[in-house]
Amino acid sequence: MLTRRVFLKGGGMALLAFGAGPTFLNRAALAAAPKASPGRRKVLVTIFQRGAMDGLMAVSPVGDRSLASYRPRLGMSAATASEPESAMLDLGVGFGLHPAFSDLTPLWKERRLAVVHAVGSPDPTRSHFDAQDYMETGTPGRKGTASGWLNRAAGLLGHDATPFRAVAMTPALPRSLYGDTSALAVTNLADFKVRLPGADHVAKSAAGGFESMYEQTSQSLLQSSGAEAFDAIHMLSDAHLASYRPDPAANYPSSPLAQSLRQIAQLVKSDVGLEVAFAESGGWDTHVQQGTSNGTFARRARDLGQTIAAFWTDLGAAQSDVVLMTMTEFGRTVRENGSGGTDHGHGSCLFVLGDQVDGGKVHGRLESLAQDALYEGRDLPVTTDFRAVFSEVAGKHLGIRDHAKLFPDWNGGRISLLRG
């Protein structure tokens, strides 16, 4: 029988047998962290909507007269008999959901999906770069913060980790995952191996050579990271990478976002120790021809909604361990512009999905949209600091207690969003 050392961050090392039964990592987790529930750990999956989503188009206050007058071309009626597909989906709480998000309505009805509205940053910037930077570091107004909030979150989990603890499905590590805790950026899990195009057998043999060199090097960091790398490769091959198929009922669209979430679901279900995942969705900067039930916004929304719904189905029994949260750097102007779009604004909304989520509700406080109530006379005012949401999710779902480390310089209250 084969034995392998499994390195676990934090010092644990277990001699394990593998080849049968549950995946060896699963056992490693059991051996090293008795407090962990059998199987996987809690996983936070985040989706950054780059470009700033129009929160008022995603989730609109029903029948708001001023909104209709601000947006003569972008308004959608509440459900009318004549064109049911193009009407807002009535959420039953004074809000309508954009029809392109229709795949999300079952999750809403099951009370697993919640919306937080008028959420955003206290910093007034309307620069994508700055606002994304501030949201990803979790320190609005401060450029020099070295680490990202998700990296700090991963570092605060306080137990042993596998190489797959924090994973971004992006070509380079996002700002959210900059920092001291090791995190992986990978776009295609199939690439996670020793590769030599056109010469697989050589690659395989070279992998053996590398593995033994790294196993015995005197440099401890190279040794432990080398061991991790090869453990990770073995984990993935144990997870039957090549033959893996998502749940047939999971109807993923063919988009980069769906590709990312499909692989995140795969990591979750493979029990490789994923705890913090990051994916991104582009195309939300809808200055031009934003459209209504069809058009630019609707295309992005459909992709996001279908992807999230498919991801959730794909998770199956793992759903209870996962919370998914979307985020976007700011919202858009309350008024439409001259080109049928909206410009950079302030507050927006986000989605949170999970079994423990207090769902079927729009959380936060959407102020009146009357002219003099608008932020700088043009934007949705922010009434919930994004950190109030992030720290709630990190606290209740991931069990992170140290909020001063997670969000330095912030002592605002958390918004109540998750049960327990």
Partner 1 sequence: MRRSKINSRPILWAMSSLLAVSLAASAARDPGASAAHRLPWREAGLTAREAAARLLDRFAFGARPGEVDRVAAMGPDAWFEHQLAADFPEARVPAKLAPLHSLAMTSEQYLSTYPPRAAMYREAVAAGVVESKREVGAKGPAGAAGAAAANDAAANQVTGLDRPEIREKLLDFARRKGYRTQREAIGELVSQKVYRAVYAENQLQEVMTDFWFNHFNVTLTKNRSRPFVMSYERDAIRPNALGTFRGLLEATAKHPAMLLYLDNAESTANTGAHTSMARSVERQRDEGGMFGGFRRRRLDEGMRRFGAEQKAKKKPQGLNENYARELMELHTLGVDGGYTQDDVIAVARAFTGWTVYPPGPLRKNVQTRVERAMRADVGFELQGDFLFRSDTHDADPKLVLGHTLAGGRGMADGEDVLDILAAHPSTARLIARKLAVRFVADEPPQALVDRMAQTFTATHGDLKAVLRTLAESTEFWSPATRRQKIKSPFEVAASSLRALGAEVTDPVDTVRWIARMGQQLYAYQAPTGWPDRATQWVNSGALLNRMNFGLQLASGRVRGVSLDLERLDGGREPESREAALATYVPLLLPERDGGETVRLLTPMLRDPALAGRVVGAAPEAEPGEMDEETAPFFGRGARQEESTTDRRRETKSGGKQDYFDSLDRLDRNRPPLHLEPPTPLEQVVGLILGSPEFQRR
Residue identified by tokens 């919370």 is: 323
Q: Which is nearer to partner 1, 11 or 144 (CB)?
A: 144
* Beta-strand relationship, 113-120 and 362-364: parallel
237 touching partner 1, by CB under 8 A: no
* Nearer to partner 1 among residue 286 and residue 356 (C-beta): 286
267 binds partner 1 (CB under 8 A): no
36 sits near partner 1 (criterion: CB under 8 A): no
Q: Is 371 in the site for partner 1 (CB under 8 A)?
A: no
Nearer to partner 1, 82 or 218 (CB): 218
Residue 288 or 318 having the CB closest to partner 1: 288
Q: Residues 290, 72: contact at Cβ < 8 Å?
A: no
Dist CA 364 CA 349 (whole Å): 9
CB 301 within 8 A of CB 25: no
Closest distance of CB 236 from partner 1, Å: 11
CB of residue 111 to partner 1, shortest distance in Å: 31
Q: Shortest approach of partner 1 to residue 259 CB, angstroms?
A: 5
* Edge-to-edge order in the sheet of strand 89-90: 59-61, 95-97, 89-90
HSE of 14, CA atoms in CB hemisphere, 13 A: 20
- Give the DSSP letter string of 180-213: SS--EE-S-GGG-S---TT-HHHHHHHHHHHHHH
φ/ψ region of 381 (left if φ > 0, alpha if ψ in -120 to 50, else beta) reads: beta
Per CB under 8 A, contacts with partner 1 among 62-81 are 72-73
Choose the binding region for partner 1 from 48-56, 245-253, 392-400, 404-412 (rule: CB under 8 A): 48-56
Which residue of 229, 308, 369, 398 would you call a contact of partner 1, by CB under 8 A?
229
Footprint on residues 126-165 left by partner 1 (CB under 8 A): 128-130, 132-133, 137, 142-146, 163
CB of 323 to partner 1, least distance (A): 24
Look at residue 329 and give its three-state secondary structure: coil
Segment near partner 1 (CB under 8 A), from 79-87, 309-317, 336-344, 366-374? 336-344
110 or 180: whose CB is closer to partner 1? 180
Distance of alpha carbon 141 from alpha carbon 133, whole angstroms: 9
Amino acid at 261: L
CB of 293: closest distance to partner 1 in angstroms? 15
**Residue 86 or 105 with smaller CB distance to partner 1:** 86
Query: With respect to partner 1, which residue has the nearer C-beta, 20 or 172?
Result: 172
Residue placing its CB nearer to partner 1 in the complex, 344 or 396 = 344
- Of residues 195 and 419, the one with the C-beta less far from partner 1: 195
Looking at residues 380 to 419 of the shown chain, list those that interact with partner 1 (rule: CB under 8 A). none
Site string for partner 1, 172-211 (x = CB under 8 A): xx-x--x-x-xxxxxxx-xxxxxxxxxxxxxx-xxxxxx-
CB–CB of 54/331 below 8 Å? yes
Specify the 3-state DSSP secondary structure of 10.
coil
Name the H helices within 346-401: 386-396
State the minimum distance, in angstroms, from the CB of residue 165 to partner 1.
11
Subset of 74-113 contacting partner 1 (CB under 8 A): none
Tokens 């999971």 -> residue: 250
Choose one: 101-109, 111-119, 277-285, 407-415; the region binding partner 1 (CB under 8 A). 277-285
Closer residue to partner 1 in complex, CB, 187/293? 187
Near partner 1 in 281-320, by CB under 8 A: 282-289, 300
Question: Segment near partner 1 (CB under 8 A), from 217-225, 316-324, 392-400, 409-417?
Answer: 217-225
Residue 285 near residue 128 (C-beta atoms within 8 A): yes
Helices and strands counted in the chain (H then E):
12, 14
- What does DSSP say about strands 362-364 and 59-61: parallel, antiparallel, or unpaired? unpaired
**Overall size of the chain counted in residues:** 420
**DSSP-assigned letter for residue 393:** H
CB of 107 to partner 1, least distance (A): 25
Measure Cα distances from 47 to 44, 136, 324, 395, 397 in Å: 10, 12, 8, 18, 16
